[in-house]
Amino acid sequence: MKEAFYTYIEKLQDRITSKLEAIDGKAKFQQDLWQRKEGGGGRTRVIENGNVFEKGGVNISAVHGPLPESMQNYFKVEDVDFFACGLSLVIHPVNPMVPTVHANWRYFEMYDKQGTIVDRWFGGGQDLTPYYLFEEDAKHFHQVCKNACDKHHPEFYRDYKQKCDDYFWNTHREEARGVGGLFFDYCREKHGFSIDNWYDFITEIGDSFLEAYVPIVEKRMQLPYTPAQRTWQEIRRGRYVEFNLVHDKGTLFGLKTNGRIESILMSLPPHVQWVYDHHPEKDSEEEKLINVLKHPIDWV
């Protein structure tokens, strides 16, 4: 399974980076191959200073070795070995009318000292973070997510949409990071679902990503915007940074397993602002976004 899934994410990385380069028309992804001394490595691809994308990363990795003690405590296991692979992406567009997007699809195995698999699961999801709310964009993104989920189980979209709303919640701000999407984790062999069934599901979600995001980019990337709207985008990016550094489990896992710091922090946008006690004007487009972030809604 680990070989099959790593081959899949290698090909998916190629498809996504090729499509995003074609949309941008200027910038190209720079590739960085790296090794982890404890075992494994990855292929980082970063795009910067483009016509459409200010900064983005589409990274794959496969790491293995003894599970660090801090993560043993987290997973409540004894001295075990692990293997983890996945694709993680974050795209920060130039135009504040185009939303930031994040996605991650991953597979994890744990072994006893005889090399026998003692646990394995899939996880991941994809979510949208707009700076200006176009309701039809949120509906499109969620509809694509639902269509992919519905092919595998009638309750998956409802359940994983709710998990996404719960997970990408900045508790210290009492607001969502964005308008959500899907989030799922610990997808194990249970309830009649084999690990092969989960592989089919997660690859379906991965295959749906470009359909979910690209039409939104193409619709919004030529829209005019003002310096004030760009400032608002940078203020909202600050909330994105706060979530990733305070709450995100993937960032925590990377840092605690001696992951590659540049790849872990590639999710951070290049230009961000923190303005003291900032509040948008009443009845403005900015306030409209905040109201939705404080009270997540069902888009489909």
Which CATH number characterizes residue 106's domain?
3.40.1500.10
Query: Does residue 250 have a pLDDT over 90?
Result: no
Strand partners, 91: 56, 101
Residue 124 lies in a domain: yes
- pLDDT band of residue 190 (cuts 50, 70, 90) is confident
Number of domains in the chain: 1
Residue 299 lies in a domain: no
Share of the chain above pLDDT 90, in %: 84
Residues 64, 92, 102, 152: which is the catalytic one? 102
Residue 116 lies in a domain: yes
Quick check: is 295 catalytic? Answer: no
> How many Å apart are CA 206 and CA 268, to the nearest integer?
22
Residue 44 burial by CB count (10 A; 0-12/13-18/19+): exposed, middle or buried? buried
Greater pLDDT, 243 or 254: 243
Residue-wise pLDDT tens digits, 8-36: 999 999 999 999 999 999 999 999 999 98
Please state, in angstroms and as integers, the Cα–Cα distance from residue 262 to each residue in 3, 49, 250, 268, following that order.
Answer: 25, 17, 14, 10
pLDDT at 271: 95
Strand partners, 40: 63
Query: Does residue 298 have a pLDDT over 90?
Result: yes
Cβ-contact 111, 117 below 8 angstroms? yes
Query: Does residue 262 have a pLDDT over 80?
Result: yes
Q: pTM for this one? A: 0.95
Q: Which of 72, 85, 83, 70 is nearest to 116 (CA)?
A: 83
Residue 300 lies in a domain: no
pLDDT at 168: 96
Query: Does residue 90 have a pLDDT over 90?
Result: yes
Angle of helix 195-220 versus helix 2-24 axis, rounded to 10: 10
Average the pLDDT over 155-182 and give the result. 97
Structure-token pair, residue 96: 């504040």
Domain of residue 258: give its range.
2-294
> How many Å apart are CA 216 and CA 138, to the nearest integer?
9
